[in-house]
């Protein structure tokens, strides 16, 4: 998988955000931002993640893809808050019937594993 820097880094997010938010590869781009500490800790990265959370989909994504996008964006924002020590999220995240939508079982397992890692990260004392 490429790194965000290989695709243009933070400049890509700042200059082409409106186009990127409509791309089918948006979940993969969010994952690239998550894997890049500089991007996820930057204003450009946070702004892009927030925009992705509320961007209209215009029917370009299936219900399952929309669900995955919402969950990965929420995980990204929570993970950033835990890493940076900012934010006031109470640490409670309810995901009602994550398998109810058309979600590949491997994708569902991966999402749930990420949620468990996020929970463990939040539960462990910060040093």
In a 13 Å sphere around the CA of 29, the CA atoms on its Cβ side amount to 23
pLDDT band at residue 121 under the 50/70/90 scheme: low
Tell me which residue range forms the domain holding 14.
4-123
Per residue in 42-53, pLDDT tens?
888 888 888 887
> Could you give the number of structural domains in the chain?
1
Phi, psi of 112 (to 5 degrees): -65, -35
Q: pTM surpassing 0.75?
A: no
The pLDDT of residue 84 is 72
Residue 126 burial (10 A CB sphere; 0-12, 13-18, 19+): exposed
Determine the straight-line distance between the first and last CA of the chain, rounded to whole angstroms: 31
């Amino acid at each position: 998988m490429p790194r965000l820097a290989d695709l243009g880094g933070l400049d890509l997010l700042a200059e082409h955000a409106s186009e990127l938010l409509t791309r089918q590869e948006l979940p993969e781009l969010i994952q690239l931002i998550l894997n890049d500490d500089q991007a996820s800790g930057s204003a450009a990265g946070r702004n892009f993640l927030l925009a992705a959370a509320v961007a209209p989909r215009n029917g370009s994504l299936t219900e399952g893809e929309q669900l995955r996008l919402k969950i990965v964006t929420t995980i990204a924002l929570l993970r950033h808050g835990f890493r940076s020590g900012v934010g006031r999220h109470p640490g409670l995240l309810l995901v009602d019937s994550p398998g109810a939508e058309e979600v590949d079982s491997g994708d569902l397992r991966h999402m749930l594993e990420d949620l468990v890692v996020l929970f463990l990260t939040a539960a462990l004392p910060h040093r």
